[in-house]
Amino acid sequence: MGNAKDVALDHESRLVEDDHQAVRLWLRLLTCTNLIEARLRSRLRDEFATTLPRFDFMAQLERASNGLTMGELSRRMMVSGGNISGIALQLEGEGLIHREPVPDNRRSYCVRLTELGHSVFAKMAARHESWIGSMLGQLSADDVDQLMNLLREVKVGVAHAEEGKAD
Amino acid sequence: MGNAKDVALDHESRLVEDDHQAVRLWLRLLTCTNLIEARLRSRLRDEFATTLPRFDFMAQLERASNGLTMGELSRRMMVSGGNISGIALQLEGEGLIHREPVPDNRRSYCVRLTELGHSVFAKMAARHESWIGSMLGQLSADDVDQLMNLLREVKVGVAHAEEGKAD
DNA sequence: ACGAAACATTTTACATTTAAAATGTTATGC
DNA sequence: GCATAACATTTTAAATGTAAAATGTTTCGT
- Within 68-97 of B, beta carbons closer than 8 Å to A belong to 78
Q: CA A54 to CA A120: how far, in whole Å? A: 12
Percent of chain A at pLDDT exceeding 70 = 88
Which candidate in A29, A128, A155 is best for mutational testing of the B interface (most B CBs within 10 A)? A29
**A141 Cβ under 8 Å from any chain B Cβ:** yes
Residue of A33, A2, A55, A17 whose CA lies nearest to A151: A33
- What pLDDT shows up at residue B9? 61
- For B136-154, the pLDDT digits (tens) are 989 999 999 999 999 999 9
Give the one of A19, A141, A155 whose C-beta lies nearest to B129's C-beta. A19
Give the strand pairing for B97-102 and B105-113: antiparallel
Three-state secondary-structure class, residue B97: strand
- What pLDDT shows up at residue B109? 87
Three-state secondary-structure class, residue B106: strand
* Residues B117-122, mean pLDDT to the nearest whole number: 95
- Quote the crossing angle between the two packed helices A70-77 and A81-93, to the nearest 10°: 110
Amino acid at B23: V
What's the Cα-to-Cα distance from A27 to each of A34, A51, A111, B28, B108, rounded to whole Å?
10, 25, 37, 16, 27
Nucleotide nearest A68, CA–C1', reads: C8
Element (H, E) at B56: helix B52-63
CB contact under 8 A, A130 and B167: yes
pLDDT surpasses 50 at B74: yes
pLDDT surpasses 90 at B19: no
Residue of A64, A145, A150 whose CA lies nearest to B24: A145
Confidence of residue B161 (pLDDT cuts 50, 70, 90): confident
pLDDT surpasses 90 at B96: yes
Give the minimum alpha-carbon distance from B161 to chain A in angstroms, rounded to a whole number: 6
Confidence of residue B7 (pLDDT cuts 50, 70, 90): low
- Mean pLDDT for all residues in chain A: 88
- For A35-56, the pLDDT digits (tens) are 999 999 999 999 999 999 999 9
- What pLDDT shows up at residue A17? 75
**B54 and B40 in contact (C-beta within 8 Å)?**
no
Range with the poorest average pLDDT among A13-22, A93-102, B45-54, B109-118: A13-22
Percent of chain A at pLDDT exceeding 90 = 69
Instruction: List, in order, residues 6 or more apart from B94 with CB less than 8 Å away.
Output: none
Residue of A147, A18, A87 whose CA lies nearest to B149: A147
Q: CA A139 to CA B111: how far, in whole Å? A: 39
